[in-house]
Structure 1
């Protein structure tokens, strides 16, 4: 049965399997091995040299596949967690609260990325105006002036997203509704009555909030269990933490976000374990793209965005130096670049709205899963507590 098809409440499945687990140790170990292999295989399929890879690396279509992989991993993880393992014993009693805290931090990043996609959609509309204007023949001064105005605004929007999020223009909002209110005083705080289910109230974050620092906080202390602790349910809990960190790091690297500057160009993941092989390969490839694409003031590594910036800068230089009727060779080259920009805009217009909706789905899935895990943790603690009788 596919991981998304299991039915009944998460807590109910844990209670049922807790009564069965004594006779299913070997099956549980096999399930854990399958989970780790699936993690590796799914991320390996995203590598640009993978036989199953049919989308340009870090393109909008590729990012959508990345989020599909995350949703599949999350569903399988919950299925593994529901197999009745005791989550109150070390090291799970430490690893699970860390995972919950990373999930909470990832909600801010989801919101920041959704906002960044709004910026990209605005930039795409400006680029479309420029592409359409420079495709006109004969090319007049009026066409070039219109294109130059749109290109200046396009490059300013992308630069402003990197440097000063609050000054990118009227399409931006000065206040944002960010993720969920903090629970208690630390990552392992218990829920108050009713707080673990439903949608907690949003909280505001000032303009000094940093996506790079948020990812850094999520990746801190991402240490794999060792020795006797490197078996059983502790492993998938740690694996899921690594998956959350990797996916959020990749989204921030690819898409304009508030304060991307300072984002680490790599993640420290164990190379020697099976589950990490796909992700470590992707970290290396993203690092290579970083060296090739990223520059001071760059808005992100997304393939279409990189091309849009590059072509936009070239066309802006053409428009700035244009004098009617213009050199025929330069006008024709600008026409070819305008056609390329138009094609990039079409791909972005087709892909950005579904990508944005998918991130919203990830956001709400994280909320539900975190609530389920908190409820299961509270339930397990009550079951394990010694009776007062």
Structure 2
């Protein structure tokens, strides 16, 4: 069995880990069960979840068994990690709907056939806990002094940390213990912002079960300037095509900074590292070819080969001045929306998220309609704008949408 540890390290996934020598040995000598948790705070995963998913996929390809844990229980408390304010409380109905959506997305990346992977919801055990018994059995192993030094809590103390959120670390630690007891799970993987919670779980297993348990984090997806990747003018870069279209998704990766191409190819595709390094070393105009490969490969993984081909074709059509607009993101409006102010119409068509964003685009010279720059925020969109059956909107240099009348 090839050691997946070396693969993960070479591709740049590993950020922090416990017991490096032991982890390397166990991954080489055994087939282990490991887990990653995903709290259903929305009805879709976003690009920030994609890195842990890729890490999980590499582990499964090397023969290890993943557990995809959907946090139907922990989401009711809310993880304070990386948050300056308390998360919004979700109803049970919304949580159940989100869980169902996320389960469908996870199955695209992980092979659950014939128990090669396990999909489980932590509400199964967390919702049944007796609070006093939980405190006596689990809480006794957690030091408040030590918890307060954890980064996930420390950055919240000045602004305020609710007791509800303070319980999150205990719950995540208990998840690891429960999975260890049920499935023999010995390792937790996750984003680096989860490091404190993951250490708590591994330590709990060692205390309660007197067994080895390990934690390993993956780097967060940041650009060459250290800023988080995956933010667009519409918000997060979602994995659901109804929230971020395959074309928009493709264009995001097509437009990354030159300095980020090699890193993204290593982390977000399965291309061999020799090819990753070759593409990453291209310079000048040639680096655009590497960006096309990146955009195609990542879109193919998320949306499938057919959607990736359509997004690639649409992109090339627009930038080569072609006339086939079939695969350009298209929205339909009713005829009674004609003669609306441009900002109202674009918000109605969901081309822009708000009028404020539209004003900013116009003020910066970044909004074009039918290849004409929009300079007047009060412009009225008349039927003449749809002379050829549709209206082409461009935001910035490369984000296109087509609007047609039904």
TM bracket (short chain): under 0.3
Which TM-score applies when normalising by structure 1?
0.22
Higher share of residues assigned strand: 2
Q: Which has the higher contact order (CA 8 A, sep 6+)?
A: 1
Higher share of residues assigned helix: 1
Which TM-score applies when normalising by structure 2?
0.22
